[in-house]
Structure formats: C-alpha cells, structure tokens
Amino acid sequence: MPCRAVVLSLLTLFLAGCQACSDAPAPEGRTSAERVPNPPFVEPLPAGAWTVEDIEPGRHGGDLVLAVTASPRTFNPLMGSDGITVEVVHIPMYAPCWRFDYVKQAGGPGLCAQAEQSEDGLTWTFTLREGLRWSDGQPLTTDDVAFTWQVLMDPEVPAPGRSLFEQGKTEEGKPRYAGFEQVDPLTFRITLYEPIASFPLMMSSVRWVPKHTLHKVWKAGRFTEALGVNTPPEQVVTSGAFRPVKYRADEQVVLERNPHFWQVDSKKQRLPYLDRVIFLVVPDQSAAFLKFRQGETHAWNVPTDHYDRLVREAPEKGYLVHELGASLNTAYLMFNLDPGLDDAGQPVVDPIKRGWFERLGFRQAISHALDREGMVRSVLHGRGEPLCSFISPGNVRWAPPPHPTCTFDLDKSRALLAAEGFVERDGKLHDPEGHEVTFSVVTNAENSVRVHLLNVIKEDLARLGISVRVRPVPFNELLAALKTHRRFEGLVLGWGTAVPPDPALFKNVFLSSAPNHFWHPSQKTPARPWEAKMDTLAIQVNTLVDEQARKKASDELMALFSTQQAQTMLVVEQAYAASRSELGNFKPTPLRPRTHWNIEQLYLKSLPR
Amino acid sequence: MTRLILRRLLALPALLVATSLLTFLLLEAAPGSFFLRLSEDPAFPPELIQALEARYGLDQGVFVRYGRWLVAALSGDFGPSLTYGVSTTSLIVERLSNTLLLTGVALVIAWGLAVALGITGAVTRGRWPDRLVSVVTFGGMSTPRVLLALLLLWFAATSGVLPTGGMRDLVRWDRMSTGQRWADLAAHVALPALAVALPAGARIARQLRATLIEALGQPAILAARARGLSGPRVVLGHALSWAANPMITLLGYSVGGLLAGSFLVEVVFAWPGMARLTVEAVLTGDEPMVLASVVLATTMLTLGNLVADLWLVARDPRQGRAPEASS
C-alpha cells in the first residue's frame, strides 16, 4: 500500500509538473509605466488609414481581461457563426468591409473606404483602403476578397454566409447568387438580381480570409477544417485589431495587437490601444460575477439576477454599472396554424383546436388576457418591459410605434371571444360547437424564465376559463416539434437578433415561404390574405433603397404582425453591463457583444504596477 | 498472470463495441439532432443543413453510420467533432491530462484520508475516536458531490484564501516562475480535488476499518502481539498487509468512481477537463465527440481495473488461477 501511494504521488507530481512547465514565462515589462506599445506598431501607417474622430484619445498598453461563457468553435471566420465565435474571433480579429457602429446603429467605412450603389440599385462598387496589410505583413487586396468569394460560393464548403447572397432560384430550381467582379487591386463590384437594403452592412457579416495562407488548403478540399481550434495561433492571420497568440481549450484565448492595424485617433495615435486582450472561459455566471467583483475582469455582461448586488457594491468596489435599456432578446407565445399532416396521415394539430387558433378574435383575446406588467414583476423581478411588437424597443432605430393589441383588458378579451361565438359555462370556456377550450403549450425546460412565463400564461388564461397544459421539454425536443414533426399546439420561445439588427434580416420569419415562419412555415403560396400582405411588406423592407420608405414599410409590417397576433409577444429583459472605472471609451449597448464591440478603441486609464 | 491479461485484453474490444453501440442508440433515440439546433440561425437555410448532414454522413441509416464509425475507430480515427470541425482525438488529448491530474490528486487525497481514518477507527474500535470517524465518514458518504463542491466554492469565495475556479491564474500565469506556477496549480487543484476525494475517501475508510477490525482478530495478528510487537508495527506491518487484497480490489473501483465524480466537479469548478467537453457534446448531440469520450472512459476504467487485478495477482498468485472444477 505505501508503495502504491508513492507511485501515485509521483505520477500526480509528474502531471502537475507537466502542467506547470508547459509554457516558458513571458518576458516582464508589459505593465511598465512608459506605456510603449508592446508589441510595437509596424511603420509606416497605411496610406488609407482611417482617423476615428468620435472617441476620447487614449493611451497605449495594458491587458484587457474579459470573461466569456465558452471557447470559440473555430478561428475560421467563414465557418463559425455562433455567438461566442463572433465575440472572440470575428469582432477582435477580422475587420469588416463596412463597419457597424453599435451606439449610432449606423454603418460606416471599414476595410472598404467607399461603397457606391448604381442608380438601379443593383450594382455595388467597393473600394479598399490603400496600404492595408494582414497581421503577418502581407498586403490585403481584392485578391483576398475574390478568394473569399470563391470559397463562399464553393458548394463543397458549407459556409453559413453564402445564403446572404442568395437571390431567388435559377430555371433549374437551384439557388441563384449575386455576381462578383474584381476590377483592380483596390476595387471590386457585386451585382445583384434585386436590390438588398443596407447591402454593405449585410455583406460585412462575411469576414475576408487571406488567400496567401488558405488557397492551398482550399484547393486540397480541406477549407472546412482550416483554422480549427487546434491550429497553432501564430498561423492565424487576421485583418482586425488583434491576432491570437495563445489558445487553451476551455481556459483562455489570448490576443495581442495586430501591428499593421489601420486606424488612428484624432491625435494620430495608432489603434488598438491595448497590448493584449485575454478572454477567460467562465461558463458559470456566478463564477463570472465573482471574477468581476474581485477585479479579475474589466467588464461584464451583467445577467439581471446579479444586477441588484452589483449596484449595491459598486461605490465600495469602485466599478460602474450601466443600464442599457431593453435587450433585443424577446419572448413570445405562438399557436400552431399548420394544416399539415404527420407521417401517419393525421393532422399535426387537432382540427378543432386549429379552428380556434385560426380565429383572429381568439388570438387577440389571448393577447389582451395576458398581464405583461405582471410578468415583468413576477418573472423578471421588475427588470424588463412588456413587449407588444416583434422588434424590441432596444432596437432604437427600427422599433415601431406602440400598438394597442397588447393592453391587459379582460373585458375586451371576453368581448372578442363572445363575438367569435365562444361561451363561458361553469367557469370553462366552450367553442360554438360546445368543445371545452383546452390546449397544451410547450417550452424548453432548460430556460427557467420561459417556464415561469408559461406558468403565468396558464394562470392568466384560466381567468377566461381556458385550460392550458404546461409542457416543459428538452430544447432538442422543442426544436424537433418546431422544425421536423410539427406536432405541437402552442409554444413559448424567444427571438434573438443578429448584428446589424435590420428588419431585412427578419424576412426568414415574415415571408410565408420561409422556414422560420414558425406558425405555418414553408408555404408554397400564402395561405391567408394577411400573410400575402405580410409577404409584400417584407419584400419592400428588403428591397427599398430609400431609408424613410423602408422604415414606413417596416412599421406597417410590424403593425400587421401585431394586429394579427401571428406571435403574441410577451416581455423583454433589460440589458446591463458593468465596467471597471479605469476602462476608457467603454460604450456598452444592448447588442452583443455588449462590452467590446469597439475593442480597438478601449484603453486602460491606469495600469497595475 | 499472462492468461489473465490476455483474457481481459481480449474482452476489452467486445466491451467497447457494446458500450459504443448502446451510446449510439441512446443518442439516436434522443429527440432532435446537432444540425437541427443550427437551423435556429437564419444563416443556415435547409439546403445548407442538408449539405452539412451529408458531409458528416448523418443522412445515412443508423447501422450504416455506426458501422462506418466503428471501422474508422478501429484505425484510431474517431471522426471530427460536429461542433469544432476538428478531430475529436485532438480535442480530447488537450483536456485529458487535466482530468487525469484532478483524478490523480483526488486519488491520493482519498486514499491518504481513508488509510488515516480507517486505521484510527479500527484501533480505537468502540471508543470516541472511532465514533468520530464513523460520524465523519457517514457525513462524507451522504453529502452529494455537487453540494460539497458548491460548499467549497462558497468557502473559497467568502474566505478569499483559495481561487474560485479554473486551473490556474490565467492572467498572471505567463509571468510566473516555475515555482510560482507549482504553487498556483496546487492552490487551484486543492478544492476540486477535495470535492472529488471526500465522498470516495469516506467510503474507502469505512471499508478499510471493517477489514482491519477483522484482520486484528486473526490468529496471526494475535500471535504477533503475543511476540511483543508494538501496536503500530502490528497494525502497519501485519494487519494492513492482511487487509491489502480487498483494498486493492477497491482501488480499481475507486478509480472509476473518482473519474465519474470528477466530471461533476469539473463543471462546478470550471476545471478544463473532459467533463465540459463531454457534457456539451451530450447536450448538443455531437455524436462523434460523445462516442470518443465514452470509448476513452471505458478503456480507462477497464485498464484501471486490470492494473488493480494484476497487482492483486502479484501479491497473491492464487487470485489469478481459474477455479477448479468440482467432481
């Protein structure tokens, strides 16, 4: 026995030793008081460098530490589109052609200095900045843009960005894509079959990849695996403010300044200010809270349940808590209007129940019976807002005017139901044929907020005599019901949003032919007159060039959505962020990533000694 | 002994096929699929989802897919992770040493604790130290590992003495000397290892106490006492040796228990081991990742038990013989 203990101890010490000695210590001096950029910038400044005027000139140096909930899935900007990969890879490492300002919710030049639209709105000509370089010093030209386009259009590469450029179908029924033309090393042109609103911003969600490092990989048919998380970080070449230097699975991603970055502040100091950015992987929000509170991280995307304590301790601990208004993650109740049949030839929804759901008065009555203010109080603990529209009020540019269909009014509900022939007997609601009104509503059990909302809905509808069966199920089962077998009566789910939060991106929901038209998806022709009208408005929102006309069409679309109660919107949570007071140019917004969308502008006012 | 090794090693492939097939069928039975989750994202239209399913062979029948996976696995290729798009083996290798480190430290703590408590309980049988050991071990066995981990995490957060999770101080690690790194690693592993070790140590301690009490009543031990050997020498030199065989058998099982326990604790303490990878894979339906993890865990458990058995046979060759047929 003692012998075994000795062997096990030695083995453990060996493993610990391997962990302790696996990396050589980095040189000291990153926190020096002189604040010399380390790594230094490579001169000269690109000829087409962009001067960022609307920021406070900062100081170079220091490490920014942020917590994220998971490791990125890949360093390949064309293959990863999940939230964490966007936060850790896209935003800091790959600059867009056309930059989106999260505060102003407006676009502006990025890698492209100019974007010109032809008179017919179908041709866009983009001009790159002069003197751009990748992080390894190689020139960034339209060769790289053309290569990215080639890869994107390669049917062997399952890149999610390709669908952005899909414009209808060919005569053979295959997807038809926009055309690309490389004019010269600084100019390229994209030709559309039909106009796309805010096209420069839309296309900027596709980040360019370097031809000089990835062309051979693509030719060998291995692009999908390229730049995976097992790639040595020094082989990852970037166009953004930072480049990776270290990746430890489920622990951290360390980035350092891209010395060729092309932005300067009004004092002609080069950006980014920070030497390094360290993303710590902290899956648990309570652990992330402790790390921020103890000063281990500089900023934090605050969940609502930690807000009160954070605010209480802010003066003592010396940090700032920012209230950002309504978030863009919404919650809704929806009924299944799908008349389809399942594999056994049976209707996916009981025709009697679908008959109720199809009645406009029924859907509006449900909306008026829901006490959204109560939901905010009891479920969100006051940290939220009632929601009446598909677009959250947090989307300041596109939120529509208030709509009257979500006021809490039980008398109005009863009147609407009576007008549709429903009667209440013995405390239970019956349809005109005498069937008792009862249905089930599913939601994903992992989301406690949605389960709580569903319980409140059950109580609210009981006041009308409606019996709701609450069915929390695993998320995969919910998705299978929504996307595959379609056997559900009602559900509670939510919408997030992409960036930019432009209504053009919502066509996947509003078009009756779209797969995310969840109440009755993938229709060949609009099944209901209001859906035909919705199609027309959604197409206008996607194609109108004039921004005022687009806003008008968008508001009309949202009003139609609310009137028809295609989905009964419920509530939206408030968004909060917290930062250490030494963090300069910190401009959090409800859009993700809330804390570091402008990471190249962030700086540390003081450095630890 | 050679026959024992051969018998165990020959049984291993059958065991791996059975566990992997069962895992595969369970994953199939679960609702939804990995790519169904992606379809939430408007950037993934149905055609792209179909292309991805075809690329990873998910459009094939269940047994065709399993057969293909098995053939590839036999050559050491467990396929690419659906989440990360890179080889599952490379992902596992990155995290395996971390899990082994945590399990190894926990094993040392659990057995150190068990030996100390077990001996104390046995030699003071019926007196207050024995009763105290019984209370402590009962408490250790009855406390769920997750609760214990959360309590330790709370202690770390309120006291500020030890770190609140992770495996190292990621911000300062690069600037630490080797000695500082050792200290940092030890500080980070202490609490998760305790959380893994305490329930197992309590269980082993009770077992050891009972075995030692039995050993202390053996004629050989009584004879040793009669020869005038000191109490500690009798216990450590003779009784412990007598009790070693069942304890070695228990060692094999405890390795499995600690490995399983470390999975829960890794999640609570954000320890970058196999657990988070496996749990995430199970939740998202990343089939190749789950299968590779199950195969690896099964192999480790089987080999752990084999080592324990071999040790047992080395101590007592009778344990390796096949039972004689009775006439």
Query: Judging by DSSP bridges, how do beta strands A603-604 and A423-425 pair with one another?
Result: unpaired
CB of A606 less than 8 A from some CB of B: no
CB of A65 less than 8 A from some CB of B: yes
Residues of chain A neighbouring B93 (CB-CB closer than 8 A): none
CB of B208 less than 8 A from some CB of A: no
Alpha carbons B87 and B289: distance in angstroms, whole number: 9
- Confidence tier at A34 by pLDDT (50, 70, 90): low
Report phi then psi at A78, rounded to 5. Answer: -85, -20
Side by side, the strands of the sheet bearing A112-117 are A112-117, A123-128, A187-191, A179-184
Residue A170: the pLDDT is 84
Instruction: List the 492-531 stretch of A: residues with Cβ below 8 A of B.
Output: 498, 505, 508, 515-516
Residue A236: the pLDDT is 96
Q: Find tokens 């690896």 and name the residue.
A: B296
Q: Which residues, 6 or more positions from A396, have their beta carbon under 8 angstroms from its beta carbon?
A: A105, A325
Q: Which residues, 6 or more positions from B75, have their beta carbon under 8 angstroms from its beta carbon?
A: none
Residue-wise pLDDT tens digits, A395-446: 989 999 988 888 999 999 999 999 999 999 999 999 999 999 999 999 998 8
A464 with A413: CB under 8 angstroms?
yes
Q: How many CB pairs under 8 A join A and B?
A: 185
Distance from CA of B326 to the nearest CA of A (A): 35
Residue-wise pLDDT tens digits, A93-136: 999 999 999 998 888 999 999 999 998 889 999 999 999 999 99
Residue A296: the pLDDT is 87
Nearest CA-CA partner of B274 in B91, B114, B104, B105 = B91
Nearest CA-CA partner of A125 in A181, A208, A66 = A181
- Confidence tier at A8 by pLDDT (50, 70, 90): very low
- Confidence tier at B156 by pLDDT (50, 70, 90): confident
Q: Which of these ranges, A199-203, A232-236, A301-305, B212-216, has the smallest mean pLDDT?
A: B212-216
**Mean pLDDT of the residues in chain A:** 90
Task: Test A228 with B85 for CB contact under 8 angstroms.
Answer: yes
Q: Count other Cβ atoms within 10 Å, centred on residue B255.
A: 21
Q: Tell whether the model's pLDDT for residue A194 goes beyond 80.
A: yes
Residue A177: the pLDDT is 92
The amino acid sitting at A313 is: E
The Cα diameter of chain A in Å comes to 86
Nearest CA-CA partner of B200 in B270, B260, B127 = B260
Residue-wise pLDDT tens digits, A153-165: 998 888 888 888 8
Alpha carbons B170 and B197: distance in angstroms, whole number: 25
CA B279 to chain centre: 15
Q: Find tokens 């687009």 and name the residue.
A: A550
CB of B105 less than 8 A from some CB of A: yes
Report phi then psi at A470, rounded to 5. Answer: -85, 125
Residue-wise pLDDT tens digits, B313-324: 777 776 666 555
- Confidence tier at A362 by pLDDT (50, 70, 90): very high
Residues of chain A neighbouring B171 (CB-CB closer than 8 A): 63, 65, 278, 280, 296
Interface test with B, best of A11, A250, A313 (most B CBs within 10 A): A250
Residue B218: the pLDDT is 80
Task: Test A25 with B43 for CB contact under 8 angstroms.
Answer: no
- Confidence tier at A450 by pLDDT (50, 70, 90): very high
Residues of chain A neighbouring B270 (CB-CB closer than 8 A): 250, 281-284, 287
Interface test with B, best of A7, A8, A11, A12 (most B CBs within 10 A): A12
Q: What average pLDDT score do residues B25-50 get?
A: 78
Residues of chain B neighbouring A1 (CB-CB closer than 8 A): 115, 240, 244, 247
Alpha carbons A529 and A535: distance in angstroms, whole number: 10
CB of A407 less than 8 A from some CB of B: no
Nearest to A230 among B90, B108, B240 (CB): B90
Residue-wise pLDDT tens digits, A333-347: 999 999 999 888 899
**Residue B324 has what DSSP assignment?**
P
A200: left (phi over 0), alpha (psi -120 to 50) or beta: alpha
Length, in residues, of chain B: 327
Alpha carbons B318 and B80: distance in angstroms, whole number: 46
Task: Test B48 with A290 for CB contact under 8 angstroms.
Answer: no
Q: Find tokens 């027309």 and name the residue.
A: A536
CB of B234 less than 8 A from some CB of A: no
Query: Judging by DSSP bridges, how do beta strands A252-257 and A276-281 pair with one another?
Result: antiparallel
A78 with A162: CB under 8 angstroms?
no
Instruction: List the 161-200 stretch of A: residues with Cβ below 8 A of B.
Output: 161-164, 166, 175
Residue of A nearest to B275 (CA): A250
Q: What percentage of chain A carries pLDDT values higher than 70?
A: 94
Q: What is the 3-state secondary structure (H, E, C) of A117-155?
A: ECCCCCEEEEEECCCCECCCCCECCHHHHHHHHHHHHCC
A257 with A242: CB under 8 angstroms?
yes
DSSP string, B199-260: HHHHHHHHHHHHHHHHHHTSHHHHHHHHTT--HHHIIIIIIHHHTHHHHHHHHHHHHHHHHH
Q: What percentage of chain A carries pLDDT values higher than 90?
A: 67
**Stronger pLDDT, A402 or B186, i.e. the higher one:** B186
Residue-wise pLDDT tens digits, A273-323: 999 999 998 888 888 888 898 888 999 999 888 898 899 988 888 899 999
Instruction: Say what the ipTM of the complex is.
Output: 0.74
Say how many Å lie between the first and final Cα of chain A, rounded.
Answer: 50
CB of A483 less than 8 A from some CB of B: yes
Alpha carbons B310 and B307: distance in angstroms, whole number: 5
Give, for A486, the enclosing helix (H) or strand (E). none
Alpha carbons A500 and A102: distance in angstroms, whole number: 8
DSSP string, A545-581: -SHHHHHHHHHHHHHHHHHHTSSEEEEEEEEEEEEET
